[in-house]
Amino acid sequence: MSNVTDPTNCEPFRGENVMTDPRMEKFADVLVNYSTELKKGETVLIRAGSVAGDLAREVYRKSLAAGAHPRLKLELPDKESIFYSEAGDEQLDYLSPIDMFEMEHTHALIVIRAETNTRSMSSVPPEKQARRSRAMKPLQDLTLEKTRWCGTLYPTSAYAQDAEMSDEEFRDFVFRAVFADRDNPIAEWRKLSEMQDGLIKAVTGRNEVRIRAEGTDLKLRIDGRKWINSDGKHNMPSGEIFTTPIEDSAEGVVTFTYPVVKSGREIEGIRLVFKEGKVAEASATKNEDYLKKMIALDSGSNRLGELGVGTNYGIDRFIKTILYDEKIGGTIHLALGNAYTETGGKNVSALHWDMICDLRRGGEMLVDGEVFQKDGEFQL
């Protein structure tokens, strides 16, 4: 019988004899040295889908080069669907103290999504998902409060199919979106950050936003609210500025241009009517029942928690993945549910659900009556 292997002496990914796309190395460099800015002695948790091994490997390598202490967790592609098919009520309500302890002692978190089936959750009852979301909210809040975090997406065939691209075309699309095709991606992200600072200066101190497009005429108050520069520190790719509307201010109607893909379901033709900040009417041409159930999730899920403005003109097409779609230059997005406290938002919910309105074909965004964006172009 062979000797029992010491479980503390397991080797991580070995980089020898592994050919890596140089753009993947640049992608990892952005995540480690720009998005999370890892420092010597810091702990970083790298959570990745198991099919994203080449990117996870490079992130692990770059983290070590930065002097950090990386912990790498690879997850099964169908982990969530297995959980929801087998978990009982007690398991749905369970929040692991180990997970809480881990985040208490983690300086940075890098999450690499790598779905192999984007519809694997489509048969899970929304009530189960809602119950699980409520149970996990303390961990989500702790993560947002205590860690530097960044979420990104690995180019899988499933995402490529949703985007109606070939695998190679989608891979190139991802590398362009994160600037990994540039000579100095980090310098490019800093340029985008400066541009967005200028947009924020133009809207800071204003009071009212009005959004007009086909099927849309919505007014929101932003008095005293702070705008945030989303420049690749939390989402990669990024390219947006966002704030939170005054909770009871939304008045009017909005028709969202693109479908929303949520937990494996595709909701199309979403139209919402707001009165005194609340959703008074909700309809959809597909999966309307699911839309209404999510809006009724809790006391805060029928109010807006975010107004975002997309600025990344390198992302020029809708691909059914919100991480990318909400950044499309020339669009705005509204999120139902939980607000970001750093903006001054007060709405609390287990839901945060982004929906996109494209202004590139006849739409406009006005700030205190002045045109801020028209036909997808900023009027500064």
Angle at 297 between CA 337 and CA 249, to 5 degrees: 35
DSSP one-letter string for 96-145: -HHHHHHHHT-SEEEEEE--S-TTTTTTS-HHHHHHHHHHHHHHHHHHHH
The full set of domain ranges for the chain reads 7-181, 186-378
**What Cα–Cα distance (Å) separates residue 359 from each residue in 215, 270, 328?**
12, 16, 10
Structure confidence at residue 144 (pLDDT): 86
Structure confidence at residue 262 (pLDDT): 77
| 8 has pLDDT over 50 | no
| Superfamily of chain region 7-181 | Thermophilic metalloprotease (M29) (3.40.1830.10)
Name which of 102, 101, 106, 113 is nearest 44 in CA terms. 106
pTM of the model: 0.80
Could you report the per-residue pLDDT of 213-250, keeping only the tens digit for each?
999 999 999 999 999 999 999 999 999 999 999 999 99
| 115 has pLDDT over 70 | yes
Could you report the per-residue pLDDT of 157-189, keeping only the tens digit for each?
999 999 999 999 999 999 999 999 999 999 999
* Other C-beta atoms lying within 10 Å of the C-beta of residue 193: 17
**What Cα–Cα distance (Å) separates residue 276 from each residue in 73, 170, 235, 252, 313?**
45, 42, 31, 9, 34
pLDDT band at 19 (very low <50, low <70, confident <90, very high): low
Give me the half-sphere count of Cα atoms (radius 13 Å) on the Cβ side of residue 186.
12
What whole-number distance in Å separates Cα of residue 244 and Cα of residue 267?
Answer: 24
Structure-token pair, residue 185: 């991606």
CA 232 to chain centroid:
11
DSSP for residue 46: E
| 123 has pLDDT over 90 | no
Preceding peptide of 77 cis, ω within 30°: no
pLDDT band at 120 (very low <50, low <70, confident <90, very high): confident
